[in-house]
Copies of this chain bind each other. A is one copy, B any other.
């Protein structure tokens, strides 16, 4: 089960692979996420033994078994809470959460929003397949309205969460989206998440080819992808289209699509992406609710705020500076005591 010890700088993809049978369905989007992660991790410069993957329950939550790092397959919905405890007590570790749209947004919704608001230095990869995979096909909080699933034979009536908006509503400091079928973008986003100081939230559109096949087709397939996805690049205008001939402009607070070839609008009219602008983040995240707009992928929002673990450490340091290191003898004997002779 254990691979030989390899100095950090020499890691290859292989070093992050385990001897475990990968138990996802053939064709599942999870395979690509695993592959990209294993590909990008050697570049992070983090010793393998300092990395922990924590998950809940779901197909997506099997992920830790396949990464040759420390791993913790928790219980349904609690990965963020488990990871929080781990990261707080071991700030030296690189702690990753892999979760699903059910695990992370349904039963685990509360831990998710609280982790985000606290800005704990954990990285949350949410494999969003808009379905409960492991339990064989019930709708999830991200399933679309009208979706026919095992538990909604007449169509889903829940208004789905927009995970980006939800995360932004908690004032998360890093919010991004990527696609199982876009290895390059995924690797970039994962790397940026790794580097972020604080909670990093990454929504990954992931195809469940058994229970919700093709949910993201429009944004992942060759023929349609270019005209329907806008890749966010910080400081650059929001251009997209097969021929880079379209852009996203702001009309009041509403983004709309303009052509760059009909002479009416130019690149100068487009939104310049700014990862640090919280209001722009809401606008970009909100684009997903409008089918007329291209789907944004990449880093939606990334700002710096003190992390929870650094603030706790500061209190420890301050008190230790003031009172000295904790001393049991002193503790027991401080304040009012008396002697029986």
Taking Cβ atoms with an 8 Å cutoff, the residues of A that contact B are 106-107, 109-110, 113-114, 117-119, 141, 154-155, 157-162, 165-171, 252-254, 277-280, 282-283, 286, 289, 305, 308, 311-312, 315, 318-319
Contacts and interface: CB of A to CB of B under 8 A. Distances in A.
Contacts of A155: 315
Nearest to A316: B154
Given A159-B305, A169-B169, A286-B278, A154 B315 contact: yes
A308 B145 CA distance: 11
Contacts of A106: 114
A313 B54 CA distance: 41
Nearest to A158: B118
B253 A279 contact: yes
A213 B160 CA distance: 39
A149 to B, nearest CB: 14
Contacts of A312: 157
29 contacts: A106-B114, A109-B109, A109-B114, A110-B110, A113-B113, A114-B141, A117-B141, A117-B158, A117-B159, A117-B161, A118-B159, A154-B315, A154-B319, A157-B311, A157-B312, A157-B315, A158-B308, A159-B171, A161-B171, A165-B171, A166-B170, A167-B169, A168-B169, A252-B279, A253-B279, A253-B280, A279-B279, A279-B282, A282-B282
Q: How many copies of this kind of chain does the complex include?
A: 2
A315 B278 CA distance: 39
Contacts of A170: 161, 165-166, 169
Contacts of A113: 109, 113, 161, 166
A253 to B, nearest CB: 3
A50 to B, nearest CB: 24
Contacts of A162: 171
A150 to B, nearest CB: 15
